[in-house]
Amino acid sequence: MERLFQLLFKLRNALLFLILEIISLLFLFNNNRQQQEVYLTFVQDLAAEAQVLRTDFFAYFNLRNENEKLLYHNQKLREAYLKIKSELETYKYFLPLKPEYRLIPDSLMPKNGFRFIPCQVINNTLERSYNYLTLNKGYKNGIQKGMGIITDEGVMGMIIAVSENHSVAMSILNKNFRLSAKIFGENFFGSISWKGGNPAYATLEYIPLHVDIRKGDTIVTSGFSSIFPEGYMIGIIDHFEENNEDGFYEISVKLNSAPGKAWHVYALANVYRNEIDTLEAQTKIFQ
């Protein structure tokens, strides 16, 4: 305490100077309207700044709660988005040139109607010769073995195993995966498969040499199965070679889908699949 007094005594002149100047300023601002207006504006600005600082300070400590709220709202929005997207998919055209494949509700479903079941990829291999995807939906959600898997960009694979809540799909990047495909606008069909190597390219075979093909032509699904509808995007021709021995092209197709980046996919439920399978089994034509 004594030291404090000693310090104050040492600083008495500086303190007195400050006190007298402050008193002078108070006189100035309280008795003169011109200066008072500036003073009040300054004080108000200062108070506003202090309020902003105070708000920012407390907001910082409240960030955790705000973040949790945002996550909750984000989840709700995602759910709503997926629901709306799924509903929209039900009504959209696959390709503009094929309006008969428009997907509409069950009551008005045409023969080749497909229903979309949104799924999330929870595991995905890319580096192997036989790659697979694991999805977060199972038979409880309507997933069945043999359903096609697509993304917004293109074909992804086919369901090969289903449990109650999960399913496994064979990726398009699997050497065993084969898919009937055609060149968009042409009526010649071939078989597309991945030969290993670069995951961005697959090979389309059995397109006859007399067909006029060009680099950049679009390859789509042929619709020759109950797995994928006709005309769904697979990729584009990157380059091709003529094989004169067997009379077919060997076409390298740049895949439109990117399996490594796909997290949200759709399983394609063909509502007439059982009917088609039963009919084909009875006739034994395709067995």
Q: Where are the alpha helices (DSSP H) in the chain?
A: 2-10, 12-31, 33-61, 63-91, 273-283
Contact region for other proteins (CB under 8 A) — 28-36, 109-117, 127-135, 185-193?
28-36
Q: Determine if residue 48 is left, alpha or beta; phi over 0 gives left, psi from -120 to 50 gives alpha, anything else beta.
A: alpha
For 145, other C-beta atoms within 10 Å of its C-beta total 13
Does the protein bind other proteins through residue 16 (CB under 8 A)? yes
Q: Which residues pair with 150 in a beta bridge?
A: 155, 266
Contact region for other proteins (CB under 8 A) — 31-39, 202-210, 220-228, 244-252?
31-39
> How near is the Cβ of 65 to other proteins at its closest, in Å?
45
Q: Which residues pair with 118 in a beta bridge?
A: 266
Does the protein bind other proteins through residue 8 (CB under 8 A)? no
Does the protein bind other proteins through residue 242 (CB under 8 A)? no
Does the protein bind other proteins through residue 20 (CB under 8 A)? yes
Does the protein bind other proteins through residue 27 (CB under 8 A)? yes
CA distance 270 to 158: 13
For tokens 């619709």, name the residue: 223
Does the protein bind other proteins through residue 26 (CB under 8 A)? yes
Q: Hey, what are 147's tokens? A: 């359903």
Among 21, 45, 164, 275, binds other proteins (CB under 8 A): 21
Q: Hey, what are 207's tokens? A: 């397109």
Does the protein bind other proteins through residue 152 (CB under 8 A)? no
For tokens 């992804």, name the residue: 156
- The candidate with the shortest Cα–Cα distance to 114, out of 222, 223, 272, is 272
Contact region for other proteins (CB under 8 A) — 34-42, 76-84, 97-105, 199-207?
34-42
Does the protein bind other proteins through residue 38 (CB under 8 A)? yes
Does the protein bind other proteins through residue 5 (CB under 8 A)? no
Does the protein bind other proteins through residue 23 (CB under 8 A)? yes
For tokens 């497909």, name the residue: 114
Q: Is 277 helix (H, G, I), strand (E, B) or coil?
A: helix
> How near is the Cβ of 69 to other proteins at its closest, in Å?
47
> How near is the Cβ of 38 to other proteins at its closest, in Å?
5
Contacting residues toward other proteins, per CB under 8 A: 12-13, 16-17, 20-21, 23-29, 31-32, 34-35, 37-38
